[in-house]
Chains A and B, each alone.
Chain A
Amino acid sequence: MRKYLSLTLILASLLSCVEPFDIKTDNSPPVIVIYGYLTDEPGYHAIKVSASSPYFDTAPNRGISGATVKISSDNTLISFHEVDTVPGLYVTVSRTAGIPGRTYSLSVETDFDSDGIRETYTATSTMLSAVEVDSVTIQEMSLMGNRFYTLNLYAQDAPGEDYYLGRYRLNDSIILASIDRLSPMSDATLDGQYINGLMIRGFSDERDREKIENRDDGENRNPRVYLSPGDTITFSLCRIEKGYYEFINQCQQEMNGENPFFGGPASNITTNISGGGIGYFTTYAFSTVKTVVPE
């Protein structure tokens, strides 16, 4: 619902001006940041271990090398090794897949505080079973003078509180995968119902590219995704844990600073990493369908 509210900012945007502003703060001491997920798709899965830095530091955040990373569940152990070229990025030693219904525990062992003793940071997640997607369709829509494509979902929602995440591929490329581009959903308003063509994502029309890019110049933080007839969209509906849903929402809410009308006081993003770390570890299963952009 929050999205519709941006409508009300039309007026404010007419009156406001923006200029760079220098915030002077003390810098908080670095903490360990752990982020990664395991899915039910066979393949290599990754966990990133890094250090936090001062907010306005111009150097990128530093990866933490030399950690021991593993995920365990019942009597299975999934081992990770560090990628040579990317410090702090750990991937599974072999191709592997999570099994829905199991609870997975991540452990990261490293001497982050350089006191000569290795600390262990842990997190757990239970992989929820996927919800079958019947189909998705792409429809054309015209809105405020621009042409759009919408992705519409057909699936049966399970009774009870559920949280979803869409993953997208455009032809062969993964798109909209970084945390700030995800659009997690809650079934609060349609619990247990048949999801009958609900619009869940909009894409721009390739034919409008030039017009939009001229207008959006400089604002390339969230490059738009343009579709043309004949493009294939591969859509996966992931059933995620509530905690991860909240993590994504909080990340998106906090990353841009204050929101005048609908934001709350600035609050730290919730983590499920224990032992003083921050970040998130989660698992999920998904089901996948494909559709082609119509002529």
Chain B
Amino acid sequence: MKYKRVERQYAQAFRRYIFEGLILILTIFCSYSAPGQDSRQKATVRGTVTDIRTGETLAGASVFAKGTSSGVISDDRGKYILPLDRGKYTICAAFIGYETVEFPVELNAAQTLDIQLKPNVQELETVTVFGRDRDANVSSVNMGVERMSIREIQRLPVLMGEVDVLKAIQLLPGVQATAEGGSGFSVRGGSPDQNLILLDNTTVYNASHLLGFFSVFNNDVVSGLELFKGDLPLKYGGRLSSLLSVETKSDNPQGFHGTGGVGLISARLMLEGNLGERTSWLIGGRRSYADIFLALAKDEALRHSSVYFYDMNVKLSHRLSAKDRIELGGYYGRDMFAAEVGQFDYGNATASLTWKHTFSPKWFSRVSVNTSSYGYGLGSDMENMEAYWNAGIFDVAFKADFDTRINGLWNLNYGISSTLHRFSPGHVSVEGYPDYEVQGSSALEHAVYLSNEQKLSKRLTFRYGLRWSVFQNLGKIIIFNYDGSHNVRDSTRYSGGIYNAYGRLEPRAGGVFLIDGSSSVKANYARNVQFIQLAENSSAGSPVNIWFPASPNIKPQTVDMFSAGYFRNFKNNMYETSVEMYYKKLHGVIDFAEHAELLLNQYLEGDVRIGTGNAYGIEFMARKNSGRLTGFVNYTLSRSERTIPEINNGKTYLAPYDKTHAINIALNYDFSRKLNVSATWVFASGTPTTYPTGRFEVDGAYFPIYSGRNEYRRPAYHRLDLSLNYIPKPDSKKRWQGEWNVSLYNAYGRKNPWLITYSQVKTATPTSDMVYLFRFVPSVTYNFKF
């Protein structure tokens, strides 16, 4: 059977990855068998100096201890080792074209201090940075941008012991979960397919595991994330609502290190190290093992079932010269559900090859080739019903991005990208019958862009740019033409080449005006265009994704977004606050006809309905960055609507992601270096929904007559999660360091409806039930590093 063949390929691929990974690890172990006792008399500070904006390592930066004669220059990988006597110092880092930074350091043992420098736009100012500019909330021209470090994410309470970056971003203002416990998210009222999710600059088409309850991002491998809520950097495009950029670890470890964890449902391990001075590597893997418990199930059907996922990240980084660096990255993950009747598996595979080049300290480039695929297969093993169904999407992209800083007036970003998409909407083979295939298609998506950030005065900075996107359908295909009532009128056969093209201009501009050193106002405008979309009807995030492109029948979707905000920091940037307002107008927004058949439908385009949308809102955010108590509180008031002539009789209806009120609170308190506790509380207005207002009867069974689309709301959603992190020996000199995380999800046991179902017993009238998923879900995870 075909399924077996495909499954074997996956298995082989996985075995190959594991095998190669093991070889690599063994090589490292052998070469590292004698770590060598360090006989230093002094303690050292070591780390990497990088550009805060590009992440480029900076060679030749000077790092010194203020008031001493000790100082070093970072090497061609941006690394420095500064030997000092034990004591208190102020470590400074300086580099031409960058702002000098200072760090107070109390040196008792060897310390790692990674330094990020901010390009000096006009004049040298001394600012202390940690992670990013401490006053970036106020001073940066960016709006609607959220950043979270993995450290911050890891402290949050978790569901079933799995730290999940996608659940963490759902706590940010303007971001909503699309379903209970799910990793799908909606940004400012947009649908989940309007989010561009990048893992190391490579598109991830379906970021979920286990039917959406977990994300594909392994927290051991991830270093942090950035979320742009609509005003995307010009470099990026192709989605209306947001860009989520997840970065894997990129610092080069000195020697061999690892992190990992054992949790309630999965175990993970990440190993990293270097091969000589110029090459570093990382390999991370994760597998869920909850299915082991299925063997104990009372139900025989369950005992014969398996449910698991695994994933694997690899990264290899090599510095060719002081100015050139090459990175090879990959991700492979798969979910598997199997029972005696059949199997279902799905997953992503991505790979990227990146070449970073520094022409001069003011001119950088990044050139990459990226591939991404998402696919799934459903197989039936039942006798006389053997069938296999598979579908997916495959991309290969070329990107070249340049960054040139001339002076305060000219900080240019420019580049090109070109992506080939291959859509396979569905292929079914039924044993003994010819295969059935919904015609696939191909398309090219190109873009060129140029943007500039201009500091006009000490107070006023502008950023503006233009992106020109071109989308071309190509290949040998039959395109169905539809009449006014969406029935197939006739078809057009194309024999190859480009048969349809769209070109769109995407202007984006914004500015920041600093009122004083700690407050600013910002405003911006962005137009985004989306050429490919997901045929998805359910809000729960089905893995059965069908991506389909703009075509002669379907024009690209566009959004115009206006936003403005007031930003203010207090107490030397310890507190950050902001108020942002946005208004979005969507054109050509897509929804589906009532009862649309999205699966295996040749005439899918005939089920698409097109209209307009509006979304607007105001987001309040307050964050405390340092001290024993850290965290944030935010509140969003928003609305998201659609108007589509053939849906809901043409009346405007609420988008399924409309949540009038949303409150998120995430707090962390450090009792000591050993113990910290975190709590998150989320509240959101109920999801808009359609309820039955009447019923009719046929043959003794009752069928619903519905209200208008999304005329009602479910009960409000709220939930409290708690966690405790315990580090038994924070000052241990031993290599192995362990840490316990205990979490309680939904601590007061709120029954949040996941589904509303109706049931009727013969001869009785219907009743409704709600299905809820998670109440009081405790978990314990042991994390370690070495």
Residues of A within 8 A of B (CB): 1-2, 4-5, 7-8, 10-12, 14-23, 25-28, 30-31, 33, 35, 48, 50, 52-61, 139, 141, 143-145, 150, 152, 177-180, 188-190, 193, 196-199, 220-221, 246, 249-251, 253-270, 278-279
Point out the residue from B179, B696, B761, B768 that lies within 8 Å of A56, measured CB to CB: B768
Distance from B386 Cβ to chain A, minimum over Cβ atoms (Å): 10
**Residue pair B430, A190 in contact (C-beta under 8 Å):** yes
Point out the residue from B210, B342, B697, B774 that lies within 8 Å of A61, measured CB to CB: B697
Smallest Cβ-Cβ distance to A15: which chain B residue: B773
Point out the residue from A7, A25, A259 that lies within 8 Å of B344, measured CB to CB: A7
Distance, CA A54 to CA B696, complexed state (A)? 9
Distance from A21 Cβ to chain B, minimum over Cβ atoms (Å): 4
Taking A56-B766, A260-B538 as given, write out 14 further A-B residue pairs in contact, using a Cβ cutoff of 8 Å, ordered by the A residue number. A10-B307, A18-B771, A21-B753, A31-B696, A35-B698, A144-B339, A150-B383, A152-B384, A189-B430, A198-B385, A221-B760, A257-B758, A264-B594, A266-B706
Distance, CA A190 to CA B432, complexed state (A)? 10
**Residue pair A33, B696 in contact (C-beta under 8 Å):** yes
Distance, CA A137 to CA B408, complexed state (A)? 82
Distance from B420 Cβ to chain A, minimum over Cβ atoms (Å): 29
Chain A residue numbers with a CB within 8 Å of B340 are: 143-144
Q: A60-B697, A198-B384 are in contact. Are A261 and B540 (CB under 8 A)?
A: yes
**Residue pair B430, A20 in contact (C-beta under 8 Å):** no
Distance from B641 Cβ to chain A, minimum over Cβ atoms (Å): 15
Chain B residue numbers with a CB within 8 Å of A16 are: 754, 771-773
Distance, CA A26 to CA B712, complexed state (A)? 10
Q: Decide yes or no whether B694 CB sits under 8 A from chain A.
A: yes
Distance from A275 Cβ to chain B, minimum over Cβ atoms (Å): 15
Q: Decide yes or no whether B734 CB sits under 8 A from chain A.
A: no
Please indicate which of the listed interface residues B383, B436, B544, B700 has the most CB atoms of chain A within 10 Å of its own CB: B383
Chain A residue numbers with a CB within 8 Å of B179 are: 260
Please indicate which of the listed interface residues A2, A61, A249 has the most CB atoms of chain B within 10 Å of its own CB: A61
**Residue pair A197, B384 in contact (C-beta under 8 Å):** yes
- In the complex, which residues 755-783 of chain B have their Cβ closer than 8 Å to any Cβ of chain A? 755-762, 765-775
- B-side interface residues, number (CB < 8 Å): 90
Chain A residue numbers with a CB within 8 Å of B596 are: 264
Chain B residue numbers with a CB within 8 Å of A269 are: 703-704
Between A and B, 20 residue pairs with Cβ closer than 8 Å are: A2-B599, A8-B211, A12-B211, A18-B757, A20-B767, A26-B693, A33-B696, A58-B765, A144-B340, A196-B433, A221-B762, A256-B758, A260-B179, A260-B538, A263-B538, A264-B594, A264-B596, A278-B696, A279-B696, A279-B698
Distance, CA A4 to CA B744, complexed state (A)? 34
Chain A residue numbers with a CB within 8 Å of B301 are: 144-145
Chain B residue numbers with a CB within 8 Å of A57 are: 695, 765
Q: Decide yes or no whether B27 CB sits under 8 A from chain A.
A: no
Distance, CA A264 to CA B656, complexed state (A)? 11
Point out the residue from A1, A145, A246, A250 that lies within 8 Å of B378, measured CB to CB: A1
Q: Decide yes or no whether B295 CB sits under 8 A from chain A.
A: no
**Residue pair B768, A178 in contact (C-beta under 8 Å):** no
Chain A residue numbers with a CB within 8 Å of B592 are: 264
Point out the residue from B544, B689, B703, B706 that lies within 8 Å of A261, measured CB to CB: B544
Distance, CA A145 to CA B210, complexed state (A)? 26
Distance, CA A14 to CA B543, complexed state (A)? 19
Point out the residue from A18, A25, A189 that lies within 8 Å of B428, measured CB to CB: A189
- In the complex, which residues 431-450 of chain B have their Cβ closer than 8 Å to any Cβ of chain A? 432-434, 436
Nearest first, the 9 closest Cβ-Cβ pairs linking A and B are: A264-B537, A267-B594, A21-B770, A145-B300, A178-B699, A257-B757, A144-B301, A266-B690, A199-B384
**Residue pair B385, A199 in contact (C-beta under 8 Å):** yes
Point out the residue from A61, A150, A262 that lies within 8 Å of B538, measured CB to CB: A262
Distance, CA A248 to CA B528, complexed state (A)? 41
Distance, CA A130 to CA B545, complexed state (A)? 37
Residues of B within 8 A of A (CB): 179, 210-211, 300-302, 304-305, 307, 337, 339-344, 378-380, 382-385, 387, 389, 428, 430, 432-434, 436, 537-538, 540-544, 592, 594-596, 598-600, 656, 689-707, 709-710, 712, 751, 753-762, 765-775
Distance, CA A53 to CA B428, complexed state (A)? 42
Smallest Cβ-Cβ distance to B536: which chain A residue: A264
**Residue pair B341, A190 in contact (C-beta under 8 Å):** no
Smallest Cβ-Cβ distance to A270: which chain B residue: B595
Distance from B593 Cβ to chain A, minimum over Cβ atoms (Å): 9
**Residue pair A144, B304 in contact (C-beta under 8 Å):** yes
**Residue pair A262, B384 in contact (C-beta under 8 Å):** no
Distance from B2 Cβ to chain A, minimum over Cβ atoms (Å): 14
**Residue pair B307, A265 in contact (C-beta under 8 Å):** no
Q: A144-B300, A265-B537, A265-B656 are in contact. Are A260 and B754 (CB under 8 A)?
A: yes
**Residue pair A54, B695 in contact (C-beta under 8 Å):** yes
Distance from B539 Cβ to chain A, minimum over Cβ atoms (Å): 8
**Residue pair A221, B761 in contact (C-beta under 8 Å):** yes
**Residue pair A268, B706 in contact (C-beta under 8 Å):** yes
Distance from B723 Cβ to chain A, minimum over Cβ atoms (Å): 20
Q: A5-B344, A178-B700 are in contact. Are A52 and B769 (CB under 8 A)?
A: no
**Residue pair A256, B759 in contact (C-beta under 8 Å):** yes
Distance from B736 Cβ to chain A, minimum over Cβ atoms (Å): 34
Distance, CA A264 to CA B768, complexed state (A)? 18
**Residue pair B759, A258 in contact (C-beta under 8 Å):** no
Chain A residue numbers with a CB within 8 Å of B430 are: 189-190, 198
Smallest Cβ-Cβ distance to B380: which chain A residue: A4
Distance, CA A61 to CA B762, complexed state (A)? 14
